[in-house]
Amino acid sequence: MQYPTRFSALPEYAFPRLRALLAPVPAGGEVLHMSIGEPQHRFPAFAVEAVVEHAQGFNKYPPNEGAPELRTAIAGWLARRYGVAQGLENRVLPLNGTREGLFNACLALCPEQKNGAKPVVLLPNPFYQCYMVAARAAGAEAVFVNAEAENGFLPDFANLPEDTLDRTAIVYMCSPSNPQGAVASAEYWRVLLALAEKHDFIIFADECYSEIYREQAPVGILQVAEQVGADPERVLAFHSLSKRSNLPGFRSGFVATGVKNIRELRQLRAYTGAPLPLPIQMASAKVWDDETHVQENRKLYRAKFALADEILAGLPGYTSPTAGFFLWLKVGDGVQTALDIWQKSGIRVLPGAYLSQDTAAGNPGGAYIRVAMVADIDEIERGLHAIRMALEPARGEAWHY
C-alpha cells in the first residue's frame, strides 16, 4: 500500500521526540513536567455547573454555526476586551479548539494558485506545529520566517523578497508568541495589515495567550484592523478558553473574521468538521461572560514570573517574558541542555529546536529550551531552582553566545 508523503514525511512531533530523547536516561530527581503548556490552574467551577444544567443538549446534534447564545457571548467579549464594534455575532464561528480552526481555515481559504504559481503560507519560526501541517494539507509552500532576539522575537515579514510576498496567500502570526512570549505592538499589526493589502494575503492571528500577561493587555489585531479601516476579510483572529480559563479539555475556542470568510469556514465544516457539543457551547458562553476567574488566573502567573525573575536573576540567557506562560532560555545547545537537566534533576523541559524548522540562516530554536510555567507555584519554585543549578556548572569560559 502506498501512503502520501505530505504527512508521512513530517518530522516527529515535539513531545514524542522529547520522550525518545529522555527515555534511555534515568531521571535525576522527582519528575516534574515543565515541557508541555497544559494549564494546571483551577478552572471556574460554574463551567461544570453550566454543563450539567444544559446536559440535555447531549441528545442533540450541535449547530454547525454555533449556538446563538455562545456567538452573542463571544461578540460581547470582543467588544469589551478590544473595543471593537458591537454586533459581531455573525462574524464569529465557535471552534472545537483553536487547532481545528487554525488548520481548517487554511484548507478553506488558501487558493490553489496565487498569481499563477504555487501559493505561499508564511509561518513564524519557532511555530505552533499545526501551522506547517495546514500549509502542506492545503498544497501550499510553507516559508519559515525566523523570529529571533534581534527582531524582538517577532518575524519580519516585510523584508521578504517581493516575489515571495506576491505568492503569499496566508500569514500565520502568534501574539503573544509561543514560545517566546513576545507581543506584537499596534504598529507591528498596522505594518502587517498594510503588507497584506499591498500583496493581497490574509492574516491568521493566533491570540490564544492574549489574557496571560504581566503588565499591559496585549493589543489585538481586530482593534487595529478596525482603527485603520482594514477589510474584515483580511483578518482572522483565533481565541480559546484553554489558556484564558484553564479549560483545555473543553476544546472551546472561536475565530472572528469577515462574513465571507465565515461562510467559507462553515461550508467546509458542514462536510468535515465537528462542532462543540451543545452543553459545552452553553457553558462556554458563561465562561466568556466572566472576567473574575481570568483576573485570578493572571495573578497566579504573575506570581510565578516574579519568582522566575528572582531565582534566575543574573543567569545568562534569561529574559523575563512579557506575556504567555513560557520561559525561553538561551542555553547554547537546547537538546543537550534538556537532557542534562533531566539527568541532574528530573525536570522535563523542551528543546527549542523541536519547535523550530531548520533554515538557511540556521534553526532559531536550537540554542534554547522552553520551560512551561503551568504547575503549582511550589513545584515551579522547585523546578526553577533545579534548572538554575543544572545550568550554572555547564557555563564555562568556553561557552559563548
Quick one: pLDDT at residue 400?
Answer: 34
Flag whether the pTM goes above 0.85: yes
Query: Does domain 5-42+293-393 sit in CATH 3.90.1150.10?
Result: yes
Is residue 290 scored above 70 in pLDDT?
yes
Query: Does domain 45-290 sit in CATH 3.40.50.2000?
Result: no
Quick one: pLDDT at residue 8?
Answer: 77
Predicted confidence band of residue 4 (pLDDT cuts 50, 70, 90): confident
Quick one: pLDDT at residue 395?
Answer: 52
6-15, 161-170, 204-213: least confidently modelled range: 6-15
Average pLDDT of span 98-127: 96
Predicted confidence band of residue 362 (pLDDT cuts 50, 70, 90): confident
Is residue 398 scored above 50 in pLDDT?
no
Average pLDDT of span 211-240: 97
> Three cell numbers at 398?
568556553
Quick one: pLDDT at residue 397?
Answer: 39
Is residue 363 scored above 80 in pLDDT?
yes
Average pLDDT of span 5-31: 90
Average pLDDT of span 253-271: 96
Average pLDDT of span 248-254: 95
Mean pLDDT for the chain? 94
Phi, psi dihedrals of residue 125, rounded to the nearest 5°: -135, 110
Average pLDDT of span 11-36: 93
Quick one: pLDDT at residue 396?
Answer: 43
| Domain residue extents for the chain | 5-42+293-393, 45-290
Average pLDDT of span 38-51: 95
More confident residue, 85 or 380: 380
Is residue 14 scored above 70 in pLDDT?
yes
Is residue 174 scored above 80 in pLDDT?
yes
Quick one: pLDDT at residue 393?
Answer: 63
3-7, 95-99, 356-360, 369-373: least confidently modelled range: 3-7
**Cα separation, 2 vs 30, whole angstroms:** 45
